């Protein structure tokens, strides 16, 4: 998987259950694949969100964080030069320095 040196990606998940973000069930919110990006979002029964992302600058990472309450989940990525920024609901969730990460396999 080859990604450009800069880019953006965003996606919104809107599960069918109104209380999905606060209940004790596990949900696969969705998987998204395109030529240069793959993303899988899972909400676990302990109310954490797990994100598995591959692609930006040839990197792969997994992140698990508390799931914010709400009807929708908006995720975004930007990457340029050596930085990868992950956004959740419009706020920066994490900034990665690509040169300090392992390369995708």
SS3 105: coil
pLDDT in tens, 57-80: 888 999 999 999 898 999 999 999
Q: Taking a C-beta distance cutoff of 8 angstroms, is the pair 51, 41 a contact?
A: yes
What number of other Cβ atoms are within 10 A of residue 19's Cβ? 10
For the chain, percent of residues with pLDDT exceeding 90: 61
Is 5 a residue whose pLDDT tops 90? no
Q: Are the CB atoms for 51 and 68 separated by under 8 Å? A: no
Q: How far apart are CA 34 and CA 46, in angstroms?
A: 30
pLDDT score for 104: 47
Question: Cα angle vertex 14, ends 9, 19, to 5°?
Answer: 140
Mean pLDDT, rounded, of the chain: 89
């Amino acid at each position: 998987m080859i990604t450009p040196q800069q880019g953006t990606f965003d996606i919104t998940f809107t599960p069918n259950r109104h209380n999905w973000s606060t209940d004790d069930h596990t949900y696969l919110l969705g998987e998204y694949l395109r030529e240069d990006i793959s993303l899988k979002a899972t909400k676990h029964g302990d109310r954490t969100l797990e994100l598995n992302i591959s692609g930006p600058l040839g990197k792969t990472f997994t992140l698990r964080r508390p799931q914010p309450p709400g009807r929708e989940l908006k995720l975004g990525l930007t990457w340029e030069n050596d930085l990868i920024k992950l956004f959740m609901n419009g706020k920066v969730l994490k900034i990665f320095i690509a040169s300090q990460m392992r390369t995708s396999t």
